[in-house]
Amino acid sequence: MHINRITFDPQVMGGKPCIRGLRVTVGAVVGLLAAGHSFAEILHAYPYLEEEDLRQALAYAAWRVEEIDIPALAS
């Protein structure tokens, strides 16, 4: 999947990954979805977002989780 809607700008939300340069972070979108909000509810609350924005936010978050190494804790 080509992720072209996720942007990074130090002047927007402190450089956090955002949707198309808007002040809506990937974390906010993923948090809303994790809380049980549907795509339709999110798009209604943020009418300037598009369904593909939400899909790419999820894809980006999934990719980042796979890319981060977490050291194993010694027991």
> Quick check: 44 and 54 in contact, CB under 8 A?
no
* Residue 37 is assigned to a structural domain of this protein: yes
State the Cα–Cα distance between residues 3 and 74, nearest whole angstrom: 36
| pLDDT tens digits, 4-57 | 999 999 999 999 999 999 999 999 999 999 999 999 999 999 999 999 999 999
Cβ proximity of 6 and 26 under 8 Å? yes
> How many residues are given for the chain?
75
> What is the value of pTM for the model shown?
0.84
What CATH number should be reported for the domain holding residue 42?
A: 1.10.10.10
Domain that holds residue 10: 6-67
What is the number of domains present in the chain? Answer: 1
Q: Which residue has the tokens 């943020």?
A: 46
Tokens standing for residue 51: 């369904």
Residue 1 maps to a domain = no
**Residue 47 located in a structural domain:** yes
